[in-house]
Amino acid sequence: MSTSFSGSSRTQKTSSRPGRTLAILALVLVALLAAVFIQSATSIKLGLDLRGGTSVTLQPRLAPGESGKVTNEAIDQAVSIIRQRVNSLGVAESEVTAQGSGVNRQIVISVPGDTGRRVVDLVGQTAELRFRQVLVSGAPGATAAGTAPATPPAGVSAATNATYAALDCTQASNRQGTGSDKATDIIVGCDRNGASKYILAPAEVLGRQVSKASAAINQTTGSGWYVLLTFDDSGTKAFGALTTRVTTLTPPANEVAIVLDGLVVSAPRINEAITSGSAQITGSFTQIEAEDLANVLKYGALPLAFDRGEVQQISPTLGADQLHAGLLAGFLGLFLVVLYSLLYYKGLGVVSVGSLLIAGSLAYMLFLLLGKWIGFTLTLAGIAGAIVAIGITADSFIVYFERVRDEVREGRSLRSAVETGWIRARRTIIVADFVSMIAAALLYLFAVGGVRGFAFTLGLTTLIDLIVVFAFTKPILTVLARINFYSSGHALSGLSAKNLGIIPTAVPSSVKEA
Amino acid sequence: MSKFSGLGGRLYRGETSVDFIGKRRRWYAFSGVLILASAIALSVSGLHLGIEFKGGSAFTVTKTDISVTDAQAAVAATGIAGETIIQKIGTNKVRVQTGALSVADSNAIQDALAAKFGITTDSIDTQIVGPSWGKEITRKALYGLFGFLIVVLLYLAMAFEPKMAIAAIIAVIHDVFITVGIYALVGFDVTPATVIGFLTILGYSLYDTVVVFDKVRENTRTITSTSKMTYSQAANLAVNQTLVRSFNTSLIALLPVGSILFVGAGLLGAGTLKDLSLALFIGLATGTYSSIFIATPILARLREREPAMQALSKRVSTRSTTPASSATKTAEGAPVATVATMEKRGPRNQPKRDRRR
């Protein structure tokens, strides 16, 4: 691989250093391989449709004129609430993410494996903040079997009382937000941290009646965080009535629980009737606790209800089937393309097979690394994109080869045909790949969910195609043009006079059209 | 193979030439019929939208010796009203498709199927799409389609001469129409995967047109100064010269798509792979057709209207009629003319034999 060759005067720039270009490509490949090992990215992350799992897309449900309620904060809060619920399933690699923009934001939950309906039930429920009067509170543990429950206060049914007695809030599984509580029911619930358990009266004030909430520090003492909250007009009335009624009652009936998703976030004692519409919650809060509570009050105050937009449940069996089908289609497609290249282009076909191999290994290593770096997951649609790209990649070689053959037909030597053909093919290849990239970018922007993977791999492999054509196919052809097998037009080189249909006498090499 | 390669050489030099531009009325008529048929099919039967667009549920049960009647009985027993489509996929799968269901109803169907076939609900492959989500998906798909067409239009207007851009866009719209028509006519399901595949193929169809137009541009760069060929002739030569390339690129692109279709439709039955590759397959075929038979003839017609090109065409025809032309008239209908006649109105594709390289 000498580097001293310089092409005909027209083409000096592109032909000068085929060896160097190839060496750089080899370095890049080695660097990528090293990165793969250093990052220990040894397997491609597979999407749920290839390994089985459940994905649920949730859409905010909005009454007319409520579009302003879908804010970033509201969505983030919803994501964190749902993430807590999903994490309670204990399935590794579960993901909860927000997608889209504006009022069309969605929350996408994906949980691998066989969890099907549990996921769907768990995430589909609405989280709404409610203020409920505490009727009974007590230690978190279950009352020992056989012990008669304490006499229920007025209005609490014996059944509810029994449920309360049996409830064990020290168990983490009982502290999942179920969201199944009805605002009009008397409910039994745990403290969020499992510190105590409660029987709670029907909700009297709802989260959406809170207009503001913030954490603040006592200015005079400099310590002692508290939470300030302000109600809207209807909230002021309702909260005023509630506090006026309970403040004189005996503990724990003078406490009002702040309940989110069926769990008691906090149950402050009401010291006085609060009719002004602004209240303070004091206690021995740390800064973080105060801010958390304020956040719950603020965002829980946004009643973002969600609809199941789409639920997709794929069993691991189907996942494995789809993976096999995808791989089979890939190998079949690759095999056919290689076969056709070799049959039609013979010696040149070897170049195209080599280029495909380089492109394939680049793509594979990038899939591995992108899985580590940006969490790229390969889906069935992604595999399809990569297979389609085999054709697009091979097309670039054909455009180039046909150009070279045209130039040879015009009477050029192979050496100069490789260079002049390149100048003309290069433009076509760039324009064509650019069109593919536009397509991929737009598809990525407009596609939802799984099919996005198609656009991503299509775009990525088109980019790889450009790299391979520039850094491998062209330089290698420059090098091969110096080998007698190709330059003399050997019968198997794909450049023989017979292959090209050149009738020697009919094509005097000196005559050329401008 | 080598015989075919030889054809590439003959096409390149113009010895063998297919008169794409001169016979344009034939292709236009053919496309016109297809577009008319598409319009009729679309208005009569419409598109079969998948549940992703209209909302609904699909449950796929995998079990050996499964039967449609059992599944039917299980679904009927739940007493859930509405249209259900139950079909067998492959040998061991049954797919139950229903309209939009409430959470309780879809759970009931899952339970009924699980009980009937003695499997767990988690092993039933389920897809549930809410009606409002379907609207969202439809909106996105339409945005994607129009966004794509607009961006491509802008890009082509920048990358090509304006008239090339117009011709390319007409060809793209032609492809859209015919592909949609085929879907309406045959009744294939249209899913988001179909739309994605379809948009991809619009890109690919442009790729083909780009290759042909590049050659047209190269061939026509000097025609006004040399006065050897009319624009149409130069363009027709370009199509012929790129014919082998077009054929090869389309075939190579079709091979992987064909394997996806084969595996997707044959082994998996339904789903993303089949929908994607079917749209790609149909689009690829119409795209290749339109870049050769529609885009270039339209371009040639547009350019021939220019005064400079009309003057050129006059010069060329006087030059070629002065020496008694010994051209043989080809039989009407034979697309391949080894020697083309030079007429005043019908621009022919190749220079006279004595001027050929």
pTM score > 0.90 for this model? no
Is A334 part of the contact surface with chain B (CB cutoff 8 Å)? yes
Within 13 Å and on the Cβ side, how many CA atoms surround B89?
22
Q: State the smallest CA–CA distance between residue B273 and chain A in angstroms.
A: 7
Does residue A91 contact residue A115 with C-beta atoms inside 8 Å? yes
Give me the phi and psi of A144, to 5 degrees please. -60, 140
Q: How far apart are the first and last CA of chain A?
A: 34
- What pLDDT was estimated at residue A371? 85
Architecture of the B2-48+134-355 domain: Up-down Bundle (1.20)
Q: State the smallest CA–CA distance between residue A359 and chain B in angstroms.
A: 15
Please check the confidence at residue A464 and state whether its pLDDT lies above 90.
yes
Does residue B110 contact residue B78 with C-beta atoms inside 8 Å? no
pLDDT digits (tens, 9 = 90+) for A367-414: 999 888 888 888 888 888 888 888 888 888 888 888 888 888 888 888
Q: How far apart are the first and last CA of chain B?
A: 25
pLDDT digits (tens, 9 = 90+) for B157-168: 777 778 888 888
Is A114 part of the contact surface with chain B (CB cutoff 8 Å)? yes
Tokens linked to A454: 């198609």
Give me the phi and psi of A117, to 5 degrees please. -70, -30
State the ipTM, two decimals: 0.76
Name the closest residue on chain A to residue B128, using Cα atoms. Answer: A311
Enter the CATH code of domain B56-129: 3.30.70.3220
Residue B195 to residue A4: CA distance in whole angstroms: 51
Does residue B137 contact residue B52 with C-beta atoms inside 8 Å? yes
DSSP-derived letter for residue A46 is B
Domain boundaries of chain B, sorted by first residue: 2-48+134-355, 56-129
**A501 and B12 in contact by Cβ < 8 A?**
yes
**A514 and B62 in contact by Cβ < 8 A?**
no
Q: Token match 């027709």: residue?
A: B236
Using CB atoms, which residue from B144, B206, B249 is nearest to A443?
B144
Pairing of strands A305-314, B125-129: antiparallel
Enter the CATH code of domain A9-46+314-506: 1.20.1640.10
**If we measure between CA atoms, which residue out of B172, B178, B166, B193 comes closest to residue B279?**
B193
Predicted confidence pLDDT, tens digits, chain B (357 residues): 444 556 777 777 777 777 887 788 888 889 999 889 888 988 888 888 888 888 888 888 888 778 888 888 888 888 776 778 888 877 778 888 888 777 778 888 888 888 888 888 778 888 888 877 777 778 877 887 788 778 877 877 777 778 888 888 888 888 888 888 888 888 888 888 888 788 777 777 777 787 788 888 888 888 777 777 888 888 888 888 888 878 888 888 888 888 988 888 777 766 778 888 888 888 888 888 888 888 888 888 888 888 888 888 888 777 766 544 444 444 444 444 444 444 344 344 444 444 444
**How many other C-beta atoms are found inside a 10 Å radius of the C-beta of residue A54?**
27
Using CB atoms, which residue from B110, B120, B259 is nearest to A329?
B259
Q: Token match 């923009």: residue?
A: A101
For residue B353, give every residue at least 6 positions away whose Cβ sits within 8 Å of its Cβ, in sequence order, or none: B339
Using CB atoms, which residue from B4, B126, B272 is nearest to A380?
B272
Per DSSP, the three-state class of A502 is coil
Is B66 part of the contact surface with chain A (CB cutoff 8 Å)? no
Residue A126 to residue A62: CA distance in whole angstroms: 13
SS (H, E, C) A243-287: HHHHCCCCCCCCEEEEEECCEEEECCECCCCCCCCEEEEEEEECH
Is B107 part of the contact surface with chain A (CB cutoff 8 Å)? yes
Look at the domain A53-123 and name its fold. Answer: Alpha-Beta Plaits (3.30.70)
DSSP-derived letter for residue B265 is I
For residue A12, give every residue at least 6 positions away whose Cβ sits within 8 Å of its Cβ, in sequence order, or none: A6
Cis amide linkage into residue B162, ω under 30° from 0? no
Tokens linked to B174: 């032609």
Which pLDDT band, with edges at 50, 70 and 90, does A362 fall under? Answer: very high
Does residue B347 contact residue B317 with C-beta atoms inside 8 Å? no
**A328 and B107 in contact by Cβ < 8 A?**
no
The Cα-based distances of B315 to B22, B220, B308, B309, B353 in angstroms read 19, 15, 11, 10, 18
DSSP-derived letter for residue B355 is G
Residue A496 to residue A297: CA distance in whole angstroms: 80
For residue A34, give every residue at least 6 positions away whose Cβ sits within 8 Å of its Cβ, in sequence order, or none: none
Does residue A513 contact residue B357 with C-beta atoms inside 8 Å? yes
Domain boundaries of chain A, sorted by first residue: 9-46+314-506, 53-123, 128-298
A128-298 has CATH 3.30.1360.200 classification: yes
**If we measure between CA atoms, which residue out of A419, A427, A429 comes closest to residue A398?**
A429
Q: Token match 């229903």: residue?
A: B98
- Burial (Cβ within 10 Å: 0-12, 13-18, ≥19) of residue B247: middle
Is B214 part of the contact surface with chain A (CB cutoff 8 Å)? yes
Helices B231-241 and B296-304 cross at an angle (nearest 10°) of: 160
Question: In chain B, what is the greatest distance between 2 CA atoms, to the nearest angstrom?
Answer: 89
Residue B67 to residue B93: CA distance in whole angstroms: 9
Does residue A205 contact residue A130 with C-beta atoms inside 8 Å? yes
